């Protein structure tokens, strides 16, 4: 067990490297749980695009349900489940917007088809038919033919600044290893506590 590390991001980096080397299809997949203005919880899978000691980053359409939830209530949680390793990591904290430069740089690194899709999709809004979406995609494809696709103003990213990171590792007979790192805010040192499974 590695609960003796002073910073949970160092341990997360080790576990993430092992997850990438495992048979997992996508170790960046994380369940994002948010809460609406009227306190209705919502959870969905998103992809973590980067992490460091500043936090975990994902990108989305800013008109999406999850983006609206994070604007109304930036406190949220994510969960990674790396089944081949029999491990889970839960992270809670406050989300903040990434910088425009970060959003531009990541958007520029995406496949062109994904860039065009960001313009064509009215994410989370009702759609009459698949054909309607395909027509919107055809329209933006023609619009940006022969030129770079700029990042839409309605597309950007969020960074979770973690205040709680819990590591869980499977052991036989439900005698698991479980420990948590907590801090009041990003300026405070991490405190570690073992938990009963």
The catalytically annotated residue of 87, 174, 178, 183 is 174
Q: Which residues pair with 150 in a beta bridge?
A: none
Is 110 annotated as catalytic? Answer: no
DSSP string, 81-133: EEGGGTEEEEEEEEEEEPPHHHHHHHHHHS-HHHHHHHHH--TTS--S-HHHH
The first and second tokens of residue 30, run together, are 């994380």
CB 78, CB 90: distance < 8 Å: yes
Task: Name the residue with tokens 């036989």.
Answer: 172
Q: Report how far residue 57's alpha carbon sits from residue 52's, in angstroms, rounded to the nearest whole number.
A: 9
SS3 content of the chain, % helix, strand, coil (to 5): 30, 35, 35
Name, in order, each residue with C-beta under 8 angstroms of 15's C-beta and a sequence gap of 6 or more.
Answer: 82, 85, 87, 89, 167
Catalytic residues: 174
């Amino acid at each position: 067990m590695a609960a003796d590390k002073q910073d949970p991001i160092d341990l997360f980096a080790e576990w993430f490297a092992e997850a990438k080397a495992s048979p997992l299809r996508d170790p960046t997949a994380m369940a994002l749980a948010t809460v609406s203005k009227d306190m209705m919880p919502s959870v969905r899978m998103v992809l973590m695009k980067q992490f460091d000691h500043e936090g975990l980053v994902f990108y989305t359409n800013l008109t999406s349900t999850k983006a609206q939830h994070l604007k109304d209530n930036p406190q949220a949680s994510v969960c990674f489940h790396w089944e081949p390793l029999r491990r889970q990591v839960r992270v809670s904290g406050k989300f903040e917007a990434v910088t425009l430069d970060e959003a531009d740089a990541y958007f520029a690194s995406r496949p062109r088809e994904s860039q065009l899709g960001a313009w064509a999709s009215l994410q989370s809004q009702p759609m009459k038919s698949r054909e309607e979406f395909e027509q919107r995609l055809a329209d933006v494809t023609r619009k940006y033919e022969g030129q770079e696709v700029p990042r839409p103003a309605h597309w950007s990213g969020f960074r979770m600044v973690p205040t709680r990171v819990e590591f869980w590792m499977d052991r036989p007979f439900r005698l698991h290893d479980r420990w948590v790192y907590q801090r009041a805010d990003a300026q405070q040192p991490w405190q570690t506590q073992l938990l009963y499974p």
